[in-house]
Structure 1
Amino acid sequence: MATQPQKKRTREPQEVRRAALINATLEVVAEHGLSNVTSQKVAAAANMTAAMVNFHFSGKTALLHATLKFVADEFIETHKKALEEAGNSPQEQLTSLVNTSLSELLFDHRKTALWYAFYSESRSREDYTRICEEHDEAYYAAYYAPIEALCAAEDRPMNPRAITLGIIGIMEHASQTLLVNPDYDRETSIEESMNFLKSVFSKW
């Protein structure tokens, strides 16, 4: 009898499990805080065993770092796509960026909790810097470029760095509000952000 060729194993099940564990980690961090995360809690939230955490991520620390990197990569890639789709108009670029920063995908209570958990705990801040420093710089640069272009079109001295920090600060405030109020209306922050930009640029 001829031997049947063996089917190649697909990577999909492993990737699906990794994604489920990352999603469960977001849930656990949001509910319990970073210092109270355990492999057992994450595994239970993902309906898996703690051994699966070690198999896919070699432990809790690696899983936490992978979760932060996933959220950071998603954040920057989504903003990059928003800029590409906006075209060459600085106004359209900024409008697209604001809507993206405050979209349902990114303006998420669990993801916000993860950002602040890493950034606020001294033991984890070095990990945050190592994983997210380039992402933070790219985020700032995405806003700075169209703001600089709009400043150049004004008939008066403008400070693009101050304006960039201002619009990012408005969204940071929105994130802090979301952290304590998961039901916070993101449309309010979108409106506030756009009103700020329109008040700054006379040629909007």
Structure 2
Amino acid sequence: MTGKREQNREQNRHALIEAVLDSVAEKGISETSVSEIIQRAGLSRGMIHLHFGGKDNLVQAAAHHSSEEYYDGLEALLQTAGDSPQERIEMIVRGDLSERVLNRRNVSIWYAFRGESRNRKAIAEHSDTRDGRLRGMVHNAFSRIVREAATPDAPAAARDATHGTLALLEGMWTDFLLHPDRFDREEAARIIFRFLAAMFPAHFSLQGAIVAK
């Protein structure tokens, strides 16, 4: 019986989180009311307080869940990459531009949370391209590359490559948000790999511009 109750509890929590994310994707955070959430989840109003203590905590949990889904997918992709730092960078870029990650729902959710992050620190932690987790992955790979390439002023080069790559990826997400029907994934990848090939010609080429589906 305890196992069944725990299963129901997790199902209800998941249903509420997905209801928030669906509503945020379609209507934005300001229009994601308690009534909207419980209608989408098919649960009572009291379930929000039972499982999360209130709407604000639920929205924060939804932001956290969305972030964890992104990183779970990224980690799964990196498991298929080779050991070299350039292969890890290539996999991050291709994964970030893939249809599985870069789609209307995910982009709408991410920018909605990012817009709210100025006023809610708990949400800001899950909607920042400079967060330590992603930045650390990318920076560690570039740090290995600059050592291998014996790049002058290696620390600065690794920082610049990290910031440039993340800024380009964020720009591509913005372009997709504004022009989803005209967005070209292969072109986006080509631009980023052209930047990387210019910085590290021995490690990157335009052949990396093949986006995972």
Same fold by TM-score greater than 0.5 = yes
Aligned residue number for residue 114 of structure 2: 119
Q: Which residue is 1:167 aligned to? A: 165
The answer as to whether partners of 1:174 and 1:189 remain within 8 angstroms in 2 is yes
Where do 5+ consecutive residues of structure 1 fail to align? 1-5
SS in 1 for 2:119: helix
Task: Describe how 1:50-199 pairs up with structure 2 within 5 A.
Answer: 50-121=45-116, 122-124=118-120, 126-130=121-125, 136-154=131-149, 156-157=151-152, 159-183=157-181, 184-199=183-198
Separation in 1 of the partners of 2:13 and 2:180?
Answer: 26
Identify if the C-alpha distance between structure 1 residues 12 and 105 changes in structure 2 by more than 3 Å, giving closer, same or farther: farther
Distance 1:109 1:156, change over 3 A: same
SS at match of 1:78: helix
CA contact (8 A) 1:107 1:186 kept: no
Alignment map for 1:10-49 (pairs within 5 Å) = 11-49=6-44
Q: Is the 8 A contact 1:39 1:59 kept in 2?
A: no
Residue 130 of structure 1 and its aligned partner are, at CA, apart by 4.9
Higher Cα Rg, which structure: 1
Alignment partner, residue 3 of structure 1: none
Take 1:20 and 1:189, find their aligned partners in 2: how far apart are those partners? 34
Instruction: Give the C-alpha shift of residue 83 in structure 1.
Output: 3.0
Q: Does the 8 Å contact 1:24/1:46 carry over to 2?
A: yes
CA distance in 2, matches of 1:202, 1:131: 33
When the two chains are superposed, the root-mean-square deviation of aligned CA atoms in Å is: 2.7
What SS is found at the alignment partner of 1:9? helix
Q: Percent identity?
A: 27
Q: CA deviation at 1:91?
A: 1.8
Cα gap change, 1:141 to 1:66, in 2 (>3 Å): same
Amino acid in the other structure paired with 1:194: F
Q: Name segments (4+ residues, structure 1) moved above 4 Å.
A: 130-133
1:17 aligns to what SS in structure 2?
helix
**TM-score, with structure 2 as normaliser:** 0.78
- The size of the alignment, in residue pairs, is 198
Please give the alpha-carbon distance, in whole angstroms, between the structure 2 residues aligned to 1:8 and 1:76.
28
Contact 1:40 1:49 in 2 (8 A): no
Q: Which has the higher mean CA deviation after the structures are superposed, 62-71 or 38-47?
A: 38-47
CA distance in 1 between counterparts of 2:190 and 2:43 reads 42
How far apart, CA to CA, are the structure 2 residues paired with 1:191 and 1:167? 12
Conserved? CA contact 1:107–1:175, under 8 Å: yes
